[in-house]
């Protein structure tokens, strides 16, 4: 059974629209993260949450907003989508925030036309 | 700049041979993770290392924090080892922790 679920697996959006990427983890972890992988850049850190609180934000744009409705959920809302946002977005989790091993979900591949 | 430099960027191996991948770090880190990204895109955890060496089957990894590098050795390469290998340095502090990834090594194992 998958321990970290990301939905949808593939997503196509038009420029200017808004989408929400879903992430749920069933590992009992207290910290969750978002990373992005695009053709132009290696995997890069976006956000980290610990006990549903934002710990670190390395995303310059406010168009990217994480949302944590439950301890094991960390969704990513992206507004005013641009073609440059096209990438695979990975959710990850770890038992705690301080140096623990991180495990990754299968990713959501977003294409913005 | 390139805080995590990975080499080689691509590698082709004959089935049954051995090789090593390397990461050099220009940031201070106490923990390293290695991943294999399969052709479907999923990231599989291979190793989580504090300074020292771990072994798992045909894979062995070492992290030398004093000299700021980590290696991943693949012994008796098999077709299913093909994919992209990433190392990542854990950068953590009061604001949480994040993995800083290398650019990957694309490994192709041929029969």
Structure confidence by residue, pLDDT tens digits, A6-40: 999 999 999 999 999 999 999 999 999 999 999 87
Nearest CA among B5, B9, B19 for reference residue B70: B5
**Residue B28's pLDDT is what?**
86
Q: How far is A75 from chain B (nearest CA, A)?
A: 18
- In the block, residue with structure tokens 């310059």: A60
- Judged by CB atoms closer than 8 Å, whether chains meet at A107 and B42 is answered as yes
For A44-48, A55-59, A97-101, which range has the lowest pLDDT when averaged over its residues?
A: A97-101
Nearest CA among A76, A65, A58, A49 for reference residue B96: A49
- Judged by CB atoms closer than 8 Å, whether chains meet at A94 and B48 is answered as no
Residues of chain B with Cβ-Cβ distance to A56 below 8 Å are 95-98
**What average pLDDT does the structure give for chain A?**
93
Nearest CA among A95, A104, A91 for reference residue A30: A95
Sorted by sequence, the CB contacts under 8 Å of residue B70 that are 6+ apart come out as B22, B23, B25, B32, B34, B49, B61, B62, B63, B64, B87
Is it the case that residue B1 has pLDDT exceeding 60? no
Give B93's pLDDT tier (boundaries 50, 70, 90). low
Q: Hey, is the C-beta of B106 within 8 angstroms of any chain A C-beta?
A: no
Q: Hey, is the C-beta of A44 within 8 angstroms of any chain B C-beta?
A: yes
- When computed from its CA atoms, the radius of gyration of chain B, rounded to whole angstroms, is 14
Cα angle B21, B64, B106; round to 5? 15
Is it the case that residue B70 has pLDDT exceeding 60? yes
């Amino acid at each position: 059974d998958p321990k970290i679920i990301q939905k949808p697996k593939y997503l196509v959006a038009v420029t200017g629209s808004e989408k929400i990427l879903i992430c749920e983890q069933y590992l009992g972890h207290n910290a969750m993260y978002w990373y992005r992988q695009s053709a132009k850049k290696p995997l890069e850190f976006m956000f980290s949450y610990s006990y549903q609180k934002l710990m670190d934000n390395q995303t310059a744009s406010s168009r990217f907003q994480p949302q944590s409705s439950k301890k094991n959920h960390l969704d990513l809302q992206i507004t005013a989508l641009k073609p440059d946002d096209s990438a695979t977005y990975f959710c990850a989790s770890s038992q705690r925030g301080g140096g623990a091993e991180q495990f990754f979900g299968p990713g959501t591949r977003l294409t913005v036309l | 700049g390139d805080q995590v430099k990975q080499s080689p960027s691509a590698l082709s191996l004959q089935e049954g041979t051995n090789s090593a991948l390397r990461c050099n770090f220009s940031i201070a880190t106490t923990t390293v993770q290695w991943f294999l990204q399969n052709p479907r895109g999923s990231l599989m955890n291979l190793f989580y290392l504090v300074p020292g060496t771990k072994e798992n089957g045909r894979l062995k990894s070492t992290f030398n924090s004093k000299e700021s590098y980590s290696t991943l050795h693949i012994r008796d390469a098999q077709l299913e080892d093909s994919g992209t290998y990433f190392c990542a340095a854990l950068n953590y502090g009061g604001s949480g922790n994040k993995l800083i990834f290398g650019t990957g090594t694309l490994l192709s194992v041929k029969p």
